[in-house]
Chain A
């Protein structure tokens, strides 16, 4: 299996040249509430999916390209109602491909249209629907668009900063009143852009569509080693401001914003990201730590903090430059009493007792539930890698 990872790594490297890329994306609307919020409240979404049969999740699929790629982004609208567009936020594309309905085109139900652009400066960008944008963005029609340099290595931009691993957090909010069927499933009148919206009073404050205890999984927590350089991509697609508080030991360095390097890198333990902004931050701890990055969501009219979300940071062991892709997988917490979370999605997780008897397996997941196990020492097999976990 380690060989497979090596093969995958080589494939990624080969892909790192500018080329023609065609991406298919679908716009859809939930028939009934299905996205489960942290308190088990289901909510209706409009959103983008990579496959026609996939359920809507927020954010939509991350689109990744290499600098200079000539991209055809095909939008198939399966939403049963409103027209949609894809605005390529920050890419400075030409007017025809900018995704603003009255200045270019919109894609009606059952229609397929293409957006053409050349992937610009490496960086973190957004895409979102620009039809009745205040509503459609709140409904969930957004995602990240990442442009990587063509250098074939983990580098922020050509000649920029190298890094060992990366995370992307997209913050937003949900106001359930905007997700009522009568609002989200609005009649679409192409003769007018005007639309009456409710007051905005969000109750849920999200990182990658999750909040509260949901932030302990789903690839959101930072799980890394000391000395490992982590690239953190931050984006705000919500209507509140976000202030990040980085633990001192992470030595946060702010290196770029909106797809362009800052004139001077800045050290800071706080960073505010306003609606529509993106920032890239490098983190590197020289110590093993178990802390949190706190994110304040504040009202832009009153400056009142409405919520603070806590994202776990687990730095254990010491990073070695000769590690391969398999060795980079981290898990936490260890010991654990309920579940173990991995730093990336694993094809097959196998859990054995200390005698080597297979107890359970899980496929294509970044966590495994161990709450049903008795205290003891267990072995995890992540494809070819073996780790030991201790059940408290």
Chain B
């Protein structure tokens, strides 16, 4: 009897190992700049897949049970940290150095990797991206939403103090873009056909709460890192708190082009110009 039980357990372990995958990634921390909607160059930092700078910290897609193995290279001239929020330890990476991290993701969800050093400073300056753990074969879209105060970015990279309690952002972005440029980002711009299942993965790596409103459709909350009791709610407006992640399922019942925007309508401005902020459209064809 005992040997029979043991053989079953052994079999399960083998099956589990066959499904799990080792996913290897490299991330390069680079300090550079971002262009605002009105073409102002603002100091910025990001994680990059190569040693060539882009403003976009990449989306890392894995399945549940996968082991994510990341080399993080610090190409900046100052020390940085690396952590997966609420999941991993924090790793220190001196300038010019690197660190190897291995993390198993057992549960479906949406996680933020970032530099927590001097929080919120380095995260605010751009060092935050998302890890999507999803086993479904559906169309996914990804929003890294945040906001910016150009003067503060300059002050922070020059090691000047800012008063976080007086934070007043002037630019509002999805994946680093504001309206009308969000719609040119294929990761961000939601497109599909009537009846299709679409997933929107949102990570708020900024410091403000963003209340995202859908025209045309209700969506279902599939995951919320900060409000797990909200899972299953079907809504048209979705507040996303700082450092919260939310996954939405949209099953469009009608064709059309409809706005999705922050309903804090100040956040659909860019440097006080309407509508140059967090505003995009969903495009659904019959």
Minimal beta-carbon separation of A263 from chain B (angstroms): 4
Query: Taking beta carbons and an 8 Å cutoff, which residues of A are in contact with B?
Result: 87, 89-90, 92-95, 98, 100, 103, 132-135, 137-138, 193-200, 239-241, 257-260, 262-264, 266, 272, 274-277, 300-304
Q: Which 9 A-B pairs have the closest CB atoms?
A: A276-B263, A95-B256, A134-B265, A274-B239, A263-B232, A274-B211, A276-B237, A258-B235, A275-B263
Chain B contacts with A in 241-286, Cβ cutoff 8 A: 253-254, 256-259, 262-266, 268-269, 272-276, 281
Please determine whether B167 and A301 come into contact, CB atoms closer than 8 angstroms. yes
Please determine whether A103 and B273 come into contact, CB atoms closer than 8 angstroms. no
Minimal beta-carbon separation of B159 from chain A (angstroms): 23
Q: A133-B265, A272-B239, A300-B209 are in contact. List 13 more A-B contacts (CB 8 A).
A: A92-B217, A135-B274, A197-B266, A239-B264, A257-B235, A258-B236, A260-B234, A262-B233, A274-B239, A276-B211, A276-B236, A277-B263, A301-B208
Chain A hits for B217, CB < 8 A: 92
Chain A hits for B266, CB < 8 A: 134, 197, 200, 239
Please determine whether B273 and A195 come into contact, CB atoms closer than 8 angstroms. yes
Q: Is B207 an interface residue (CB 8 A)?
A: yes
Please determine whether A198 and B236 come into contact, CB atoms closer than 8 angstroms. no
Given A194-B275, A277-B211, A301-B169, answer yes or no on A103-B235 (Cβ-Cβ < 8 Å): no
Please determine whether B215 and A137 come into contact, CB atoms closer than 8 angstroms. no
Please determine whether A92 and B269 come into contact, CB atoms closer than 8 angstroms. no
User: When chains A and B are docked, how far (Å) is the Cα of A186 from the Cα of B134?
Assistant: 48
Please determine whether A276 and B213 come into contact, CB atoms closer than 8 angstroms. yes
Q: Is B16 an interface residue (CB 8 A)?
A: no
Please determine whether A87 and B215 come into contact, CB atoms closer than 8 angstroms. yes
Please determine whether A133 and B218 come into contact, CB atoms closer than 8 angstroms. no
User: When chains A and B are docked, how far (Å) is the Cα of A47 from the Cα of B281?
Assistant: 26
User: When chains A and B are docked, how far (Å) is the Cα of A240 from the Cα of B265?
Assistant: 10
- Most B CB contacts (10 A, CB to CB) among A94, A137, A266 go to A94
Given A193-B275, A276-B237, answer yes or no on A258-B218 (Cβ-Cβ < 8 Å): yes
Given A103-B258, A300-B208, answer yes or no on A197-B272 (Cβ-Cβ < 8 Å): yes
- Most B CB contacts (10 A, CB to CB) among A200, A240, A258 go to A258
Q: Is B7 an interface residue (CB 8 A)?
A: no
Minimal beta-carbon separation of B244 from chain A (angstroms): 12
Closest to B259 in A: A100
Closest to B219 in A: A258
- Main secondary structure, interface of A, reads loop
Please determine whether B211 and A92 come into contact, CB atoms closer than 8 angstroms. no
Minimal beta-carbon separation of B240 from chain A (angstroms): 9
14 interchain pairs (CB within 8 A)?
A: A94-B254, A103-B257, A134-B274, A199-B168, A257-B233, A258-B237, A274-B239, A275-B237, A275-B264, A277-B263, A301-B147, A301-B168, A301-B207, A304-B165
Q: Is B229 an interface residue (CB 8 A)?
A: yes
Please determine whether B264 and A300 come into contact, CB atoms closer than 8 angstroms. yes
Q: Is B17 an interface residue (CB 8 A)?
A: no
Given A100-B259, A103-B257, A301-B168, answer yes or no on A195-B211 (Cβ-Cβ < 8 Å): no
Chain A hits for B207, CB < 8 A: 301
User: When chains A and B are docked, how far (Å) is the Cα of A68 from the Cα of B168?
Assistant: 44
Given A138-B265, A196-B273, A260-B218, answer yes or no on A103-B259 (Cβ-Cβ < 8 Å): yes
Q: Is B166 an interface residue (CB 8 A)?
A: yes
Residue from A90, A134, A240, A301 in contact with B269 in the complex, judged by beta carbons closer than 8 Å: A134
User: When chains A and B are docked, how far (Å) is the Cα of A194 from the Cα of B178?
Assistant: 13
Minimal beta-carbon separation of B59 from chain A (angstroms): 25
Closest to A260 in B: B234
Q: Is B94 an interface residue (CB 8 A)?
A: no
Please determine whether B236 and A259 come into contact, CB atoms closer than 8 angstroms. yes
Closest to A91 in B: B236
Closest to B213 in A: A276
Please determine whether A199 and B272 come into contact, CB atoms closer than 8 angstroms. yes
User: When chains A and B are docked, how far (Å) is the Cα of A323 from the Cα of B235?
Assistant: 36
Chain B hits for A300, CB < 8 A: 208-211, 264
Chain B hits for A277, CB < 8 A: 211, 235, 237, 239, 263
Q: Is B58 an interface residue (CB 8 A)?
A: no
Please determine whether B213 and A134 come into contact, CB atoms closer than 8 angstroms. no
Chain B hits for A93, CB < 8 A: 216
Minimal beta-carbon separation of A46 from chain B (angstroms): 14
